[in-house]
Chain A
Amino acid sequence: MNRSNSAEFYSLRKDVENVAARVRQLLDSADLEQQEAVLADLENQASDPAFWEERSKAQKILSELNEIKDRVNLYKTFRAKVDDAQCIVELLEEMESPDAALKLEAAETVSWITAAMDRFELNKLLSGTYDKEGARITITAGAGGTDAQDWAEMLLRMYQRWATRSGFKSTVVESSPGEEAGIKSATLEIDGRYAYGYISGEKGTHRLVRQSPFNSKGLRQTSFAGVEVMPLLEESEIEVEIPEGDLEITTCRSGGKGGQNVNKVETAVRVTHIPTGIALRCSEERSQLQNKIKAIALLKSKLLVILEDQRAAEIKEIRGDVVKAEWGQQIRNYVFHPYKLVKDLRTNVETSDISGIMDGNLEPLLTAYLMSKQSSSSPVPA
């Protein structure tokens, strides 16, 4: 081999060694054998003819089984790919003139393993109780008039694009158009594992600075939009009892006589948890009763998340004032003019690629926030 080839080769070999070490470390701490034993035991349970007699228990076991299966397969894939890369390196060492295709294959394998391990380690940070669930995002236009309503719609698109890029399915379950443009509010449901874990940090106020297309003089304007995030929980997961007297339920009748006088799609229901002041509006189902049921389920989910955030043991202990303060907190600035900058106020991460951000490329911001949350709290369980 000539000099430049050997330099390249040694660099490649070093990369493969690093990645191999990383994978080895992971497999050591993961105890692959033990995981496979657990998997075999669960599969045994699932093949028992009496397995489905207790439906919810069966579903829990099945979901645990799938989780472990995925993990075990991933570990095995890592191990296999490292073996491949190491084989190629050995081959290349033997060869007189190094094969370009082989070098490329090794380099790509290293890239793949690195990206997959990064993602895997990020997922380990998502160890909150609800992180594995899908997410429900509500965006509400704040101060700024039509410009803020347009801003809210831009944020909605941003999250939709992020969801698609990340391989999640998303549905707009509710939206209220603004009078002239944009939206007053909208709710987006994102289906997929860990969606909530990734996106829950988005809750708070997002601030926009730009030359507003809705300002007749094209002046620079500041607008705000609020984002709320909740996990999508199954009925069975919402194990919290709330006394009926603690809930205030109102329907959104726009004043006036109601009853026979009116025929409108006003099935929206607003549920308020009186002790904490936390309220929720649901308008996506076709009857008031269904909206009431869904609103209460969503309210319970919200309370469960707050319980977790505030590390409270019971709903009684939730501090409503703290909740309000948190959800109004400004978390990110997006500046379009006179310069282009997106800055996350919690991690201080900034980027001038604002169009990339609006296009849904949120990873750098999300990852930085997740890691900062991780380092400021207790160590992640293995």
Chain B
Amino acid sequence: MAVLRGSVELVIPICERPASKSTPLAKLLRWRSQSRHKASSISTALSELDGGPDSSELLTELEWLLDDAVEKCGRGDRDDLDQERNDTLAGHGEIFLRASLEELEQGWKERIDRRRPFQYVTGSSHWRDLVLGVQEGVLIPRPETKQLIDLAAAAMDGNSELARGVWVDLGTGSGAIAIGIARLLDGRGSVIAVDASEVAIAVAEANARRYKLQEAVTLVKGSWLTPLRDEAGKLSGIVSNPPYIPSRNLGRLQAEVGKHEPICALDGGVDGIDHLAEICQGACWALKSGGFLALETDGGEQAQTVAKILSDKPFEDIKVVKDFAEMSRFVTAFHT
């Protein structure tokens, strides 16, 4: 199910579609049972192959898919109905769905056979406390990235002036970071979300609307800070999760990422730092004095490299911050 925004077909997340399809309950449970079997048989094959999902992750995803698709029948009820199978099904008749059984079958088949990302199948990504619409052409927000919001919040705590200014999310993709920051600003400041991809702009705008932030978040199509020359020296903060994977690693990624997510959102060039370096360069003229910069990196050595780049530029209080897996993931700094 899709809606046209400009020339982009916006996918409507399954959880937002009306429950206008239906199927006999017995058929749905049968499909669920078969799918569970198929997922269980995968065992560790995919995770050993390229770091893909194992059975328990797939089983969890299946339940989440059903949570999105099935109206009024939570997991506990589904388990009960499964156990009572022989006695009570005759009385239960049809069950309402937001996606038809055929769509679910097709979606799950694509998940397992083609390794299509789960979030593209459901059309949504649960990130932080948000449910964002995502589709092919947009990077699926990563759990690590939410720490960027926490880092921005800390910066605003240290200097409340920052919360009254203009913040920029470079490479907004689904708009996750832009929305996170806009909620922190809570009307005091505003956010500009930049992306070179038309699909990303449409998706991010729809997500901003979802959270009633269409006034607070302005979408701009373009490359990094190039379209923001007029804001030179005025920005309070720049936050970004730019493509940072070294080109040579792209071929080894798990299929969900390497074969389905947009390469332009992943490819960081030879050492993965091409875009990070460009952003650091642009931040020099774009940020006001005391303005905040926070970047997500590939971790470890790359983070150190970015910190080094900043140390040769007008920045102070340069920090490398670890993520929850103890990886040196983020670099933060303040413009002098």
> A residues near B, CB below 8 A?
164, 169-177, 179, 189, 249-251, 253-254, 256-267, 283, 286-290
Contacts and interface: CB of A to CB of B under 8 A. Distances in A.
B44 A260 contact: no
Contacts of B245: 260-261
B51 A256 contact: yes
Contacts of B43: 179
Nearest to B60: A265
Contacts of B241: 260
Contact of A265 (B118, B139, B299): B118
B126 A287 contact: yes
B257 to A, nearest CB: 5
B59 A260 contact: no
B21 interface: no
Contact of B324 (A164, A250, A261): A250
A260 B139 contact: yes
A179 to B, nearest CB: 6
A265 B60 CA distance: 8
A321 to B, nearest CB: 27
Top 3 A-B residue pairs of the complex, sorted by shortest distance between their CB atoms: A171-B76, A286-B126, A253-B325
A250 B118 CA distance: 24
Contacts of B299: 257-259
Contact of B59 (A177, A256, A267, A288): A177
A169 B81 CA distance: 12
B327 A258 contact: yes
B257 A260 contact: yes
B298 A259 contact: yes
B57 A264 contact: yes
Instruction: Name the prevailing secondary structure of the A interface residues.
Output: mixed
Contacts of A261: 245, 249, 253-254, 257, 298
Interface residues of B, number: 56
A35 to B, nearest CB: 35
A27 B178 CA distance: 65
Interface of B: 40, 43-44, 47, 51-53, 55-57, 59-61, 64, 74-76, 79-80, 83, 117-119, 126-129, 139-140, 142-146, 241, 243-245, 249, 253-254, 256-257, 261, 265-266, 296-299, 323-327, 329
A257 B56 contact: no
Given A179-B43, A260-B245, A250 B139 contact: no
B143 A266 contact: yes
B266 to A, nearest CB: 5
Nearest to B52: A264
Contact of A289 (B56, B79, B83, B128): B128
Contacts of A260: 139, 142, 241, 243-245, 257, 265-266, 298
Given A286-B64, A290-B129, A263 B79 contact: no
A251 B325 CA distance: 6
Query: Of A169, A174, A250, A263, which is in contact with the most chain B CB atoms at under 10 Å from its CB?
Result: A263
B142 A287 contact: no
B133 to A, nearest CB: 15
A148 B74 CA distance: 30
Given A253-B327, A289-B146, A290-B126, 16 more contacts: A177-B40, A257-B298, A258-B327, A258-B329, A259-B296, A259-B323, A259-B329, A262-B51, A262-B257, A264-B51, A264-B53, A265-B53, A265-B118, A266-B57, A287-B143, A288-B128
Given A171-B76, A176-B56, A263 B254 contact: yes
Nearest to A265: B57
B332 to A, nearest CB: 16
Contact of A171 (B79, B253, B257): B79
Contacts of B44: 179
A173 B129 CA distance: 20
Contacts of A265: 53, 57, 60-61, 118
Contacts of A172: 75, 79
Contacts of A286: 64, 126
Query: Of B249, B261, B298, which is in contact with the most chain A CB atoms at under 10 Å from its CB?
Result: B298
Given A171-B76, A177-B55, A289 B129 contact: yes
9 contacts: A189-B76, A250-B326, A260-B241, A260-B244, A263-B254, A263-B256, A287-B127, A287-B143, A290-B126
